Structure 1
Amino acid sequence: MVSSPHEAMHRIFRQDPGLFARVTRRLGIPEFGTPISVTELPTDLSENHPVERRVDTLLEIKEAAGSYIVAVEAQGKPDECKHASWAWYMAFVNDKYKVPPVLLVICRDRKTADWAARPVKIGPPQWQGLALRPLVFGPDDIPLIETLDEATRDVPMTVLSAVLHARDRSVDATLKVLAAALRAMEARDPDNARVFAEFANQGLDKTEALKLWRQLLAAETSFFTSSLSQEIRDEGRAEGEVKALANYLLHHLDRRGIPVSDTDRDRITTCDNPDTLTHWIDRAITATSTAEVFTEDPADQEPGETQ
């Protein structure tokens, strides 16, 4: 299954193809020129036989010195089978479009980036007939962007920085300046502000940083009229409902004079299931202790389970 971070790491280059050239300048490799035009090409690299080969993003970029094609692959973990696929991509694209291709691999962790950056020689030891040399962007290649000035100058680069450093503790500063830069961007380009906000949301998926990012967006949701802002609002309403139920249950137990230990209080306040809290409230009407509130009905137990 394709993950949200996977999508964000390569689709951002579709949204802003010039980001590729800007990153190469940071890396000190022979620099690619500023694009004059960009054509998004079909990502299906299959032939007319059962094996399907599909690159994540494929862009033909024209600059003053000529044209080249960037095949962007988002890679979540080392996979030795990828080398053969990547070699196929490069040979197929070169043959089909007659334009020199570049393989760009985006990795969110250093282990995968180090693996992907290894040159791969294909062929017997006596004579390797093909050498694969990916260009890799990982956490060590894109620094954390921590100033509002830099974030405002290049929002896509800041999104990429946040995604690649999603698991770093110091990413909080980048998220804060990114949110501020997006607020400024919204005034002049609301559509792109929404798109890049959602790329960051996708790229931070399943990390601790996602919670902070949603809080930063929720503080200024009027800037974003997308499904993301609606999702944040819905989550806020759900959290508010759960909190209200927990508070009502504690208040009801207090009014009935039923002692609540610290352990019981923690169990109630950390419960995130409104149905469970409602069930406990119903029990609290007649219960004489918290043990009775939490005790399961025989009908609720699994077959063979005893109290």
Structure 2
Amino acid sequence: MIFIIIVLIIFLLLLLPYVFFMKREIKNITIQLNEYNDLKSLKKIDATLFDKEIENLAYSINKHIDINIQSQIKQKRLEEEIRKNIANISHDLRTPLTSIIGYIQMIKKGNLSKEKQIEYIDIAERRAKDLQNLLSDFFELSIIESPDYYIELEKININNILCEVIASFYNSFLDKNIAPKIDLPKDNIMVIGNEGAIKRVLQNLIVNIIKHSKEDVYIGLKKENNKAVLTTINRCDDIKEEDVDLIFNRFYKKDDVRTNKNGSTGLGLSISKRLMEKMNGEIYAEVHKDLLHIFCKLDLK
């Protein structure tokens, strides 16, 4: 009995220092955590006691701190992006609105000729339609960017769609004195995609060509490495090589205003990029000797 008591006393004497140091280490970790939570320190938790469980605890806490830091960084970037988006949208909406208000005010003064009144009304109407197109494209882009937006994919004859879209722009090409060089294969190319989405992408690409081209352009379609590759080439002197990837950004604009004199909102390439991604395809651009090459790739069926 005495032996057991002696053993217990020795055990307690050995255990007490461990409990003391363990308690001190937990207090130390608690202080560090409080400093981190109060934003007084951004340092990770430092464990001074060589104990496996304490080290595992410190590791788990530090891992959580890393996740929290990354989450905060991501949140700040998101907030900054939202602020920039709001500023850009406000600018894009304000520009046509200011123009419309200006022309209406001049008409209200009543000192204009009948011809000038009609001219200013026509201009205000065009600006209003520009604003309507801008809002429509913003709305479409916001829907497409939603993770819940789904595109049904099926077997599509891309040759037929491309011919149809090109033909629909016949008058626009004539107005700009553009004679597109069209290079299509004799055999039909079948892809995995969505007819409506493919049409929208092709329409946006051709609108981009007509808007920026100063001379003839190239539109080609071919098979390459189990992909259907659509290529458009047009001269574009005002895009630098280092900026070429930015043309797919929703708020990239070379001009001071989003809407152009031809009514384009400049969001077409952003919409095209999101649609291509929804169809498991890709779209990218390259600049070679002042020539803008845009490539669209879809899986073959």
TM-score w.r.t. length of structure 2? 0.24
Which structure is larger by alpha-carbon Rg, 1 or 2?
A: 2
Higher helix share: 2
